[in-house]
Amino acid sequence: MKEKVCIITGANAGIGKSTTIEIAKMGATIVMVCRNQQKAEKAREEIIQQSGNTNIEIFLCDFAEQVQIKTIAQQLVQHYPTIDVLINNAGFISASKTREVTQEGIEKTVAVNHLGYFMLTNLLKPSLLNSKAARVVNVSSEAHRFINFDIENINIEKGYTPMNAYSLSKLLNIHFTLALAQRLEGTNITTNALHPGIVKTNFSSNLSGFMNLMFLMAKPFMINADSGAETSIYLASSPEVANVTGKYFAKKKQKRPNNDAQNLEYANKVWEVSTQWVQLEGQTF
Ligand SMILES: NC(=O)c1ccc[n+]([C@@H]2O[C@H](COP(=O)([O-])OP(=O)(O)OC[C@H]3O[C@@H](n4cnc5c(N)ncnc54)[C@H](OP(=O)(O)O)[C@@H]3O)[C@@H](O)[C@H]2O)c1
């Protein structure tokens, strides 16, 4: 990974931080995209200490804010004319039982977990195309299986629960990967999605009630963040997957996502709606 520029979102905690430490050990130049300066600085120090790599920059962005994504993407393209790896990892599950929307009227989980990946990737297009061989890695989840996809309900206006919104966002991550891979045919860029495992991180820390109970019960069976990062690291760096694209992985092996996730018609519709939501007509892959 020496000489490579690697962007990792949500790099200050959990799976993102473990992924960053390992890729930093491989000698890459790293950009941590985080929303909180203090947390990011603290994590950066720890990453430098554990990896011995000082080529680690921080860029701040809250993925719930489209304006911030556009600004930081512009800055990244300016600072890094070539980007070799983008790991879309930042994500959350809402603690709110009521549906919250962003300024643009998009349900917040879908906005952060799906549109965050969609926008950043498309806006980094010029720098990704400049790489000899770029990789876009999308952290999804087996939770994508917990929802029946309804093309008319991508903004989850009906049937909102935090888990439904989260599951949908993770299904959209796989649709995004499928549609992106199709658009990347004939380029130097590959893209794959993954499930990291059930990982002990901050992920469930703001949950309450039944959801919290479920996570507490699952805790003894959860893997640690270092193990949870293994498939992200594999997809970002292993020569074994240099030519693999549009697939879904778990435990460093290809896995079949559910039928809805493999539906190219759905994936293309999601792409079309997402493009309109973020007003990127003519600028996407
Ligand atoms: N943990 C699991 O069992 C599990 C299972 C399947 C998939 N995943 C996926 O793995 C990825 C990483 O999750 P994790 O378990 O490592 O959770 P985590 O420890 O909570 O880390 C999530 C990261 O995303 C960042 N983030 C959240 N909302 C953001 C926003 N609006 N803007 C910018 N950054 C934001 C967090 O920043 P702050 O620190 O500032 O909050 C943090 O850096 C997520 O995509 C998640 O869906 C996790």
How deeply is 242 buried, as exposed, middle or buried, from its count of CB atoms within 10 A (0-12, 13-18, 19+)? exposed
| Cα separation, 269 vs 70, whole angstroms | 23
Mutation probe of ligand 1 site: the residue of 8, 20, 35 with most atoms within 8 A of C-beta: 35
The arithmetic mean of pLDDT across residues 156-171, rounded, is 96
Domain residue ranges in the chain: 5-197+225-277
| Cα separation, 8 vs 107, whole angstroms | 24
216, pLDDT greater than 90: no
Q: pLDDT digits over 13-47, tens only?
A: 999 999 999 999 999 999 999 999 999 999 999 99
pLDDT at position 13 is 98
pLDDT at position 98 is 96
pLDDT at position 237 is 98
DSSP assignment, residue 267? H
More confidently predicted of 202 and 68:
68
The arithmetic mean of pLDDT across residues 178-190, rounded, is 98
Q: pLDDT digits over 99-143, tens only?
A: 999 999 999 999 999 999 999 999 999 999 999 999 999 999 999
| Cα separation, 83 vs 149, whole angstroms | 33
What is the CB neighbour count within 10 angstroms for residue 206?
14
Q: pLDDT digits over 63-106, tens only?
A: 999 999 999 999 999 999 999 999 999 999 999 989 999 999 99
| Cα separation, 175 vs 198, whole angstroms | 21
pLDDT at position 67 is 98
Considering Cα of 207, then 209, then 215, then 219, what sign does the dihedral take? positive
Mutation probe of ligand 1 site: the residue of 110, 203, 206, 255 with most atoms within 8 A of C-beta: 203
pLDDT at position 212 is 81
pLDDT at position 220 is 87
pLDDT at position 116 is 98
pLDDT at position 179 is 98
**pLDDT, the chain, mean:** 96
CA separation, residue 228 to residues 41, 77, 134 (Å): 22, 29, 22
pLDDT at position 206 is 75
pLDDT at position 223 is 95
Indicate the fold that domain 5-197+225-277 takes in CATH: Rossmann fold (3.40.50)
Token pair recorded at residue 34: 């985080």
Q: pLDDT digits over 228-245, tens only?
A: 999 999 999 999 999 999
| Cα separation, 266 vs 285, whole angstroms | 17
Percent of the chain at pLDDT > 70 equals 100
Token pair recorded at residue 27: 């000698």
What is the CB neighbour count within 10 angstroms for residue 75?
13
pLDDT at position 205 is 81
SS3 186: coil
| Cα separation, 249 vs 43, whole angstroms | 27
Q: Residue with structure tokens 């939501």? A: 277
- 166 noted as active-site residue: yes
DSSP assignment, residue 142? G
36 Cα nearest atom in ligand 1: 40
With a Cβ cut-off of 6 Å, ligand 1 is lined by: 10, 12-16, 34-36, 39, 62-64, 89-92, 112, 139, 141, 195-196, 198-199, 201-203
Of the pLDDT bands very low, low, confident and very high (cuts 50, 70, 90), residue 211 is confident
| Cα separation, 94 vs 176, whole angstroms | 21
pLDDT at position 27 is 98
SS3 5: strand
166 Cα nearest atom in ligand 1: 47
